Amino acid sequence: MRVLLAGATGAIGRPLIRALADRGHEVLAVARDPKSNTMIRALGAEPVNADVMDRDGLLRALRGRSADAVLHEATALKSAGRKLTDADPTNALRHAGTAHLLAAAEHLGASRFLTQSLILGYGYYDHGARPVTEEDPFGIEDGGYADPVIAGCRATEEQVFAADLDGIALRYGLFYGPAAFSDMFADLLRKRIPLVPVGGGGVISWIHVDDAAAATVAALERGKAGNAYNIVDDEPITWRQFLDAVAAAHGTPRALAMPTWLLRLAVPYLGCLMSDTTLRVDNSKAKGELDWRPAYRSVGEGLGSASR
Ligand SMILES: NC(=O)c1ccc[n+]([C@@H]2O[C@H](COP(=O)([O-])OP(=O)(O)OC[C@H]3O[C@@H](n4cnc5c(N)ncnc54)[C@H](OP(=O)(O)O)[C@@H]3O)[C@@H](O)[C@H]2O)c1
């Protein structure tokens, strides 16, 4: 297939270009800065310089081109403000960005659209011991701090499922691996910034970016229209277990514990994510329908591998 990939230079985008190229797909890779073009070509894709938030500019950049599918993997989490709102760049990319990429899909004649979603769309609370499946309620705001994230995930999924093409949503676990959260947390551990909530924090599901990329290619090839898939590994873990695995793999000091009230005060989103949320997620639908298995069944395996 010929695919347009938005978010091509990001933590998931780079392994995804390689995984698509390995399967013989042709990739048109969106990047705002032409300085990324050399890297994009080296990964095996053709660059298209455009800003997803500029609908007219995006369509202009795609003039005369065609594609079979569009993949929306664009986020801007590093630019999030201290207080989450619908106007945050990542939320804007989920709301308006999805609409603009759907317009691009129509322009390109694409009949398939995959969008990045997130397991946190199931809600930032304690879901208990039962793994959450795609049948569980998704995208329901509860008046909490992270409502804009939940609304953004719902907005991108709803638009894609309502569009006149084959729409699929990928509800990724938290990303670790090169350029993803494990690298980010390793930097914080090196600086000895106290991180883990006292008691170890909640339990959550992760996915190595290489496995997320492989699942995305599988969904492009075999995913059923109108479906969401949980893309997570086999072993949900506590934040203490995650940070200990990061410290061991990166050779940093262990995370210092922080009282929950202080974490909430200092970084409200991390308080909500690390303390309030326990979210074990079931991946059997992706395994069954996409014929996909995570190469790294746990964070320990993934961070112990060469591709950490
Ligand atoms: N499931 C998850 O846990 C999850 C999901 C997403 C991100 N993350 C993590 O969050 C961290 C930071 O992520 P991030 O979102 O800042 O960066 P990122 O993962 O490095 O990638 C963001 C991508 O989106 C593209 N993008 C952003 N705004 C765009 C726009 N207006 N138009 C076109 N493309 C746009 C960027 O392209 P250009 O800048 O090249 O234009 C880049 O390719 C990473 O550690 C990542 O792993 C985790």
Q: pLDDT tens for residues 175-208?
A: 999 999 999 999 999 999 888 999 999 999 999 9
Report the share of the chain in percent with pLDDT over 70: 98
Any atom of ligand 1 within 6 Å of the Cβ of 188: no
What sign for the dihedral angle of Cα 75, 112, 66, 38?
Answer: positive
Distance 199 CA to ligand 1 centre (A): 31
User: Position 11: which residue type?
Assistant: A
Which residue in this structure is represented by tokens 């277990």?
241
Q: Is the pLDDT of residue 243 over 90?
A: yes
- Give Cα separations from 299 to 1, 177, 220, 229 (angstroms): 32, 9, 25, 20
Distance 76 CA to ligand 1 centre (A): 5
Range of the domain at 26: 2-175+207-232+282-294
| pTM for this entry | 0.96
- Give Cα separations from 84 to 64, 74, 92, 145, 244 (angstroms): 38, 18, 12, 7, 28
List beta partners, residue 270: none
Asked if residue 121 is part of any domain, the answer here is yes
Asked if residue 250 is part of any domain, the answer here is no
Residue 73's CATH number: 3.40.50.720
pLDDT at 78: 83
Any atom of ligand 1 within 6 Å of the Cβ of 246: no
Q: How many Å separate Cα 107 from the centre of its chain?
A: 25
Which residue in this structure is represented by tokens 């991180």?
195
pLDDT at 97: 98
Distance 129 CA to ligand 1 centre (A): 31
pLDDT at 195: 86
Mean pLDDT of the chain: 95
Any atom of ligand 1 within 6 Å of the Cβ of 13: yes
Q: Whose CA is nearest to atom 18 of ligand 1?
A: 10
Asked if residue 84 is part of any domain, the answer here is yes
Asked if residue 197 is part of any domain, the answer here is no
Q: Are 228 and 169 in contact (CB under 8 A)?
A: yes
pLDDT at 307: 63
Give the count of domains, the chain: 1
Helical H segments across the chain, by residue range: 13-22, 37-43, 55-61, 89-92, 98-108, 147-162, 181-190, 209-222, 239-250, 260-266, 268-271, 284-290, 299-304
Asked if residue 265 is part of any domain, the answer here is no
Any atom of ligand 1 within 6 Å of the Cβ of 118: yes
Q: In the 3-class helix/strand/coil scheme, how is 193-215 assigned residue by residue?
A: CCCEECCCCCEECEEEHHHHHHH
Atom of ligand 1 nearest to the CA of 179: 45
Ligand 1 mutation target, pool 4, 30, 71, 77, most atoms within 8 A of CB: 77
Q: What is the DSSP-derived secondary structure letter of residue 254?
A: P
Structure tokens at 66: 């065609």
User: Position 194: which residue type?
Assistant: P
Asked if residue 93 is part of any domain, the answer here is yes
Asked if residue 252 is part of any domain, the answer here is no
List beta partners, residue 70: 4, 113
pLDDT at 308: 65
Q: pLDDT tens for residues 73-125?
A: 999 988 776 678 878 899 999 999 999 999 999 999 999 999 999 999 999 99
d(CA 62, CA 85): 30
Asked if residue 58 is part of any domain, the answer here is yes
Q: Whose CA is nearest to atom 35 of ligand 1?
A: 74
d(CA 112, CA 106): 10
